[in-house]
Every structure is written in structure tokens, then in C-alpha cells.
Amino acid sequence: MNNCIFCKIVNGEIPCSKIYDDELVMSFLDVNPTSDGHLLVIPKEHYENVADAPEEVLTRISKICKKMGLLVKDKLGASGFNIINASGKDAQQSVFHLHFHVVPRYKNDGLDLWFHGKAGDKEKIKEIKKKLLS
């Protein structure tokens, strides 16, 4: 893909702090880290997001996300990690080359990356279920 920043990273046209590389997948440090060791895991082929990526690519990415999560626990002393993906502009995706964030978490790191949902309307949930199963 012309002009895709992550394709340029894959092709070595722009530098990155590479941590993992195989024939399908790469992982490198995010330039705008949310925590120490924040990594991105991407396919080498260009896919826009989860919606257009083949299942075998997603399977490999998920294995490497686990590997990277275990790496930050082992090497950086993270006590946990979040694996986060944005698929689509309205889901806050900003780089349109599929990627998963592996965000290391540390005891008392003060980050709050989780949902703060409130109890949903039961009728609406029923309607949505009907639509999804229709």
C-alpha cells in the first residue's frame, strides 16, 4: 500500500524499534506509548483492520500478542497487559493497517483503559439480540 506508514515500517523505509519478526507478523514499540513497553503487533501484508483480515492472519497475530504479553511480563516486570484493537474510524482507529496494541500494565500504574458501562435497558437488549440473530 502506498503511503501506509506501517507498510513503510515493514519494508524498512522508516525505522522502528522492532521486537519480533517472522514471515507473517511483526511487533515493534509504539512511538506514542501509553505505558512502558507498549507494543504494536501487525501483519506484514496490508489489511485495513479485523474486518478484512483472513482468519489465519488473525490467528497468528493473536499468538504473537500472547508472546509479547509474556515478554513484557518477563523482561519489564509488567504484572498484566491489555490487548486492544480499533477496527474502523468510529472505533478510534487512526492508522489503517491492521494492528493490535499490547499495553503492559504495572501495579498502581494509574491507567484506566477499561469500560464504564451502566446497566442497559432490558427491552433494548432483547431487540438487539433479535436483530443479531435474524
Q: How far is the CB of 29 from ligand DGP (least distance, A)?
A: 6
CA distances from 103 to 9, 27, 35, 45, 77 (A): 20, 12, 6, 23, 13
| Alpha carbon of residue 51 to chain centroid | 14
99 as an active site residue: the answer is yes
Binding mask 26-45 for ligand DGP (x = CB under 6 A): --xxxxx-------x-----
Establish if 2 lies at the interface with ligand DGP (CB under 6 A). no
Binding mask 43-82 for ligand DGP (x = CB under 6 A): ----------------------------------------
From 38, 97, 99, 101, active-site residue:
99
* Contacts for 19 with CB less than 8 Å, ≥ 6 apart: 27, 28, 29, 39, 68, 71
Question: Where in the sequence numbering do the catalytic residues fall?
Answer: 99
